[in-house]
Structures are given as structure tokens and as C-alpha cells.
């Protein structure tokens, strides 16, 4: 069966993961610890961030969790913060983060459009952050995508299938004709639960062996997808 729709994760899929989210972790941990080295270590441990390497560990909640879930992990070391206030603070820190496109995205999306594909983004980041980051990345979310959703858009969060099925409904495609494209197990689990094809990419923290069991195919990055689509119609 042909693929007529592509639903992309954002971080680690359209944009390289480390450049944005390792930086974000450093920023929030420094601000929240306010010079207290002991608190800094507690906070880093709570979200599995390696202070020595300045890298997110492979099982960190930051990789596939929502901002709310990150706040839930951090708040145990921050008794004067509420989860809601902490979540709002975490979202505010996203605005000025560096972005590194996996491939020149405007040209890439244009080639997908020429094929008649429906294109969406579903991220476990907030919808507002997603729209802001896509715009900062030189894209027009309303023109370049048929659908953009975050964990707070009313459809749920990955690995639940709700937001993926919302995309399929929005673009009037059966789930079986959509591929979920992502760099994490949450992305691929959501795709499986929704009855979609699943395409793994290696521009996030996960390795090929991590994704293989849930992905129909695994590519170094999204630039390989057009050739894959061609192979399905030969």
C-alpha cells in the first residue's frame, strides 16, 4: 500500500537533537540550581543528564517525555516550585535555543509537496514551542504543514495513538496510508498503535538497534525517505 501522508516528530527528526536539547538542559539546570552545586547534581540526576559530558543520557525523560513530565521529575528537588509553574518556566527556556536542520527543510518539504503528500508534525513538546521553533527554522507552519500538534493540543501525547489518528483524520487519510517518522521508541510505538507505517531515523539519541524492532525501516536521516517512497511503487 502506498504512503500518502508523513507525520514527523520534531526534535531529533526535523532538527538534530543534541544541538537543541543538550543546550536546553544546561540552561535550565544552571538557572534552577542558581550556583548550588549539590542542587545542580540532584537536578541533573533527576532527568538523567550527564554534567561531565554535557549530554542527555539514553533513558532520560527529556528524550521523549512532555515538558510536564520533565517538570514532574525535577520538582522533587525544588520544594518551592509547583509543577505547573515549573512547566511554564521550562517552556519559556525553549525560545532562544539553537536549531540545526537535518537537511534543508524548505526544499525538502517542497519536494514532498510535489509528490502530493500530506505532511504533519507531532511533538511531545508544546504546540506553541513547536510553532515557534518551526518558524525560527525558516518554515511557515501554516503553509508547509497540514497539521502541527503538541502534547497540549487536545489529542494526547506519544506513545498514545491519539495525536497520530488526529492527523490522519485532519488530512482525510486512512492510518494505513500514513507513516510516522521519528527518532525515538515513543514515536514508533505511537505509529504501531495507530496502525501506521513506521520510519526510524538516527538523528536523535537512539541507535539503529534501539529502533529496529518497531520500525519498518531505519534511515540515517529523513533525506532518505523520498527514495524509499519511490521503491514502494516500483
Map out the domains of the chain with their CATH numbers.
Answer: 5-16+100-232 (3.40.50.1000), 18-92 (no CATH)
> For residue 1, is pLDDT > 80?
no
Cell 549539590, residue located = 38
Using CA atoms, how far residue 115 sits from 207, 225, 229, 234, in Å, is 30, 12, 10, 15
Average pLDDT over residues 6-11: 96
> For residue 233, is pLDDT > 90?
no
Residue range 36-91, pLDDT digits in tens: 999 999 999 999 999 999 999 888 999 888 999 999 999 999 999 999 999 999 99
Cell representation of residue 199: 520510519
What is the per-residue burial (b if ≥16 Cβ within 10 Å, else e) of 105-137? Answer: beebbeebeeeebbbbbbbbbbbebbbbbbeeb
> For residue 143, is pLDDT > 80?
yes
Amino acid at each position: 500500500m502506498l504512503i500518502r501522508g508523513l507525520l514527523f516528530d520534531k526534535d531529533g527528526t526535523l532538527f538534530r537533537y543534541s544541538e537543541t536539547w543538550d543546550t536546553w538542559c544546561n540552561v535550565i539546570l544552571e538557572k534552577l540550581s542558581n550556583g548550588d552545586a549539590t542542587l545542580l547534581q540532584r537536578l541533573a540526576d533527576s532527568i538523567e543528564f550527564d554534567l561531565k559530558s554535557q549530554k542527555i543520557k539514553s533513558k532520560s525523560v527529556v528524550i521523549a517525555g512532555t515538558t510536564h513530565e520533565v517538570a514532574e521529575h525535577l520538582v522533587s528537588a525544588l520544594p518551592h516550585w509547583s509543577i505547573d509553574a515549573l512547566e511554564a518556566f521550562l517552556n519559556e527556556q525553549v525560545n532562544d535555543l539553537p536549531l540545526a536542520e537535518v537537511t534543508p527543510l524548505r526544499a525538502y518539504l517542497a519536494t514532498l509537496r510535489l509528490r502530493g503528500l500530506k505532511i504533519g508534525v507531532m511533538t511531545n513538546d508544546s504546540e506553541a514551542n513547536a510553532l515557534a521553533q518551526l518558524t525560527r527554522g525558516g518554515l511557515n507552519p501554516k503553509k508547509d504543514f497540514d497539521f502541527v500538534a503538541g502534547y497540549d493540543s487536545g489529542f494526547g501525547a506519544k506513545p498514545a495513538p491519539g495525536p497520530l489518528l488526529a492527523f490522519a483524520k485532519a488530512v482525510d487519510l486512512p492510518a494505513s496510508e500514513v507513516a510516522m517518522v521519528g527518532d525515538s521508541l515513543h514515536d514508533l510505538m505511537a505509529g504501531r498503535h495507530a496502525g501506521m507505517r513506521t520510519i526510524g531515523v538516527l538523528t536523535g539519541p537512539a541507535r539503529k538497534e534501539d529502533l529496529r524492532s518497531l520500525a519498518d525501516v531505519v534511515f540515517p536521516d529523513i533525506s532518505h525517505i523520498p527514495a524509499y517512497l519511490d521503491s514502494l511503487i516500483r
